[in-house]
Structure 1
Amino acid sequence: MILILVRHGITPWNEERRIQGLTDVDLSAAGLDQVRRLALSLKDFPIASIYSSPLVRARKTAEIINEFHQAPLHLSSDLTEMNHGDFEGLTIPELMAHHRDFLRKWLADPASVGMPHGESFLDVQTRVWKVIEGILANSRNALVVAHNFTLASILCRIKNLPLAEFRSLCVDPASRTVIRFCNGSADIELFNDRPYLNGGQP
């Protein structure tokens, strides 16, 4: 079976380098354009079902992709982005300026160090992987639309990497990552692929 992982298109907060987490920020005009191009690149993929975070930036991405497929669309709160707690809404420069010591600790051990009044990365991976297990049990091609940390947690699990190495597996907005599962093994055929955003062929 094929599993396609998609990150939602960009939002105004992505453009401002602001931490959005569970904050329900919509796609920007540029994000909508990205998603329409992404949807065209996926129109000929055989997709039996689509799973999405219910946050509007992901849900809208999933709905636009699904215009070409009319597949069952399942919204799951387990696919939402990491709860960044007290850091929601801060810009990256603000985070670096005022919380550098915490960030050092978190980057060294994101699995167990939780965001203040939020989640740890392991919390995220645990809830997200429940959804992936259900998808794999169905053994039918599926597409998942989610978020930066959500998708990185899936890829860490698939590649059997510790969560502290997640930065090598982060994907860009409106990208697609294609994974083929066969006989208990997983092969990543495309990673963070998005030539369609620059006028390239799907």
Structure 2
Amino acid sequence: MRLILIRHGETQWNQQRRIQGGGSDIGLSQVGRKQAKSLALLLKEMEVGAIYSSPLKRALDTARVIADSHQLAVQVESDLREIEAGELEGMAIDDLGTNFSQFLVQWRQGEGLERLPGGESLADLGNRVWSAIQHIIGKHGQEVVVVVSHYFVILTTICRALGLPLSHIERVRIQVGSMSILDFRDKSPCLVSLGDTCHLREG
């Protein structure tokens, strides 16, 4: 089975460098809609068996553009939503160091067990997301499946699939509109592509 993990297109909050967790339902910007179309064009020739999405608008709108080119309905999975950011929701990323400096140190040095103030930990997120991913894998056998979701959802999925500690997330970055690919052969996952954005630079 091949799992294609898509990070949603850009939103205004991405442009403004504001934190978007599971409590923010922000739609795509003009750039984000263009990125979704580029992803749809990239995936158009693939034999995609199913398309899943987070229920949040930025992911769902990206998924619908991709699904239209395959004449597939988007299957919404609530557990694919982004990490619950609690008190950090909507905050400017540049303000984190001032307002939550001690927490940031603990977060960066920890093993994913530190909860965002009023929100989830990476471990919490990883557990609910991995349960959803396993359900998708079990349902679709050898098919190619597209999952449109969010930054921390994708990174925790990759860590869980490869057996890596969640602390590794701090060492990886994936951009909006990017594509990562996991192959599952005999239940042994292989990372084929990470955060590919070549399709966004073409043309």
**Which of the five TM-score ranges fits, normalised by the shorter chain?**
over 0.9
- Could you tell me how far apart the structure 1 residues matched to 2:146 and 2:173 are? 17
- Give the superposition deviation at 1:172: 1.1
Structure 2 partner of 1:56: 57
Aligned to 2:21: 21
Asked if structure 2 preserves the Cα contact closer than 8 Å seen for 1:80 and 1:150, the reply is: yes
Runs of 5+ consecutive residues of structure 2 not aligned to the other structure: none
Residues 3-30 of structure 1, C-alpha deviations (whole Å, 9 max, x = no match): 1000000100011110011210111101
Residue of structure 2 in register with 1:87 after alignment: 88
Q: Aligned partners of 1:195, 1:102: CA distance in 2, in Å? A: 35
Q: Which amino acid aligns with 2:162?
A: K
Looking at structure 2, the residues matched to 136 and 67 of structure 1 have their Cα atoms a distance apart, in angstroms, of 22
Query: Which structure 2 residues correspond to residues 41-120 of structure 1 after superposition, within 5 A?
Result: 41-109=42-110, 111-120=112-121
Select the residue among 158, 166, 178 that pairs with 2:169.
Answer: 166
Give 2:11's aligned residue.
11
**Number of aligned residues:** 200
Mark the runs of 5 or more structure 1 residues left unpaired by the alignment. none
Identity level (%)? 38
Is the 8 Å Cα contact of residues 126 and 153 (structure 2) preserved in structure 1? Answer: yes
Does the 8 Å CA contact 2:162/2:190 hold for their aligned counterparts? Answer: no
Question: What is the SS of the residue equivalent to 2:48?
Answer: coil
Distance apart, 1:111 and its partner CA: 2.0
The residue that corresponds to 1:153 in the other structure is 156
Q: Aligned equivalents of 1:83 and 1:69: distance in 2?
A: 31
CA–CA distance in structure 2, aligned partners of residues 70 and 169 of structure 1: 33
Q: Write the distance in 2 (CA, Å) between the matches of 1:175 and 1:101.
A: 31
* Aligned residue type for 1:38: L
Amino acid at match of 1:136: I
In structure 2, give the amino acid aligned to 1:68.
S
Instruction: Report deviation, 1:128.
Output: 0.4
Q: CA deviation at 1:170?
A: 3.4
2:186 is aligned with 1:183: yes
Distance 2:118 2:170 in 1: 23
Query: Retained in 1: the 8 A contact 2:9–2:28?
Result: yes
The whole-number CA distance in structure 2 between the counterparts of 1:110 and 1:53 is: 25
The alpha-carbon deviation at position 110 of structure 1 amounts to: 5.0
Opposite residue 34 of structure 2, the aligned amino acid is D
Structure 1 vs Structure 2 CA RMSD = 1.2
Assess if the C-alpha contact under 8 Å between 1:110 and 1:120 holds in 2.
no
- The separation in 2 between residues aligned to 1:34 and 1:136, in whole angstroms, is 26
Residue identity opposite 1:95 in structure 2: L
